[in-house]
Amino acid sequence: MGAPLLPPAERVRLACQSRSETDYFFGYWSALGWTLLTFGIYSFYVVYQLVRRMRDHNARRLELLSASLSFAWDEATKRGLQEELTPTFQRAAWNLGVLNDMTGDFREPLVWVVLSFIARTVADIVLFELLDQDLVRHDESEVTVGEDLALIYARLGQPIPSPDRDRVKDRHNYVGRTVATVFSFGIYLFWWYYDVMAEPNRHFRSDWLQEDAMAGAVQALG
């Protein structure tokens, strides 16, 4: 028998509590310094964390948003608002499906470390493209879910801030960046490293603003 499913409010609390385990923050200059001091060995740890943090962040946010939606549905049902809010719940559930699909993407950190060891620059370019695509796809979906949750919780009497849609970044110019890397003999890759570290850092901070408010709203309604 599987473990019993926790109540939505408890799932929200645990998902918020575990963000220090998933949302790893990079300091670019620190990472660069350790890479130079260890003659490149530290860079494999960087690759590991780049992959792991986005995979685990997506899973944690999926759990948080799903639990917040489940809790809100229960509250809406108690208040007789389920029919009014059903279209909003359905739209949020569809976008949660995108985040759920992403959990099936093959993003195994150790495999990427091995690939980076075997084919350093080529593997890094491919990885950077995949990580950027993942971030854009993830952010587009969760911003929409966040907007729907803001509407739902406002109707339940506990307003939470709506995420800023302008925060969703454009995809990198992969062809242009690859060409720049080749013609700069790999030097441009250091700039690309900065972007794939800094952009998720900013993404995490943006997420925390709404999820703190959401956790407070769930606690107040519970």
Q: Where are the domains of the chain?
A: 11-16+23-211
CA separation, residue 168 to residues 5, 53, 187 (Å): 33, 18, 27
Q: Which two tokens stand for residue 59?
A: 């899973």
Name the percent of the chain lying above pLDDT 90. 92
SS3 (DSSP) at 110: helix
For residue 132, give the DSSP letter: H
- What is residue 4's predicted lDDT score, i.e. its pLDDT? 59
Instruction: Kindly tell me the sign of the dihedral angle through the C-alpha atoms of 109, 115, 119, 122.
Output: negative
116-154: pLDDT as tens digits: 999 999 999 999 999 999 999 999 999 999 999 999 999
Residue 1 predicted with pLDDT over 80 = no
- What is residue 131's predicted lDDT score, i.e. its pLDDT? 97
Q: Which two tokens stand for residue 45?
A: 């740890």
Give the amino acid at 209: L
Tell if the pTM clears 0.85, that is, is over it.
yes
CB count in 10 Å sphere of residue 1 = 3
170-220: pLDDT as tens digits: 999 999 999 999 999 999 999 999 999 999 999 999 999 889 999 999 999
Angle between helices 120-155 and 82-102 (to 10 degrees): 170
- What is residue 5's predicted lDDT score, i.e. its pLDDT? 80
Q: What is the mean pLDDT of residues 161-165?
A: 91
103-114: pLDDT as tens digits: 999 899 999 999
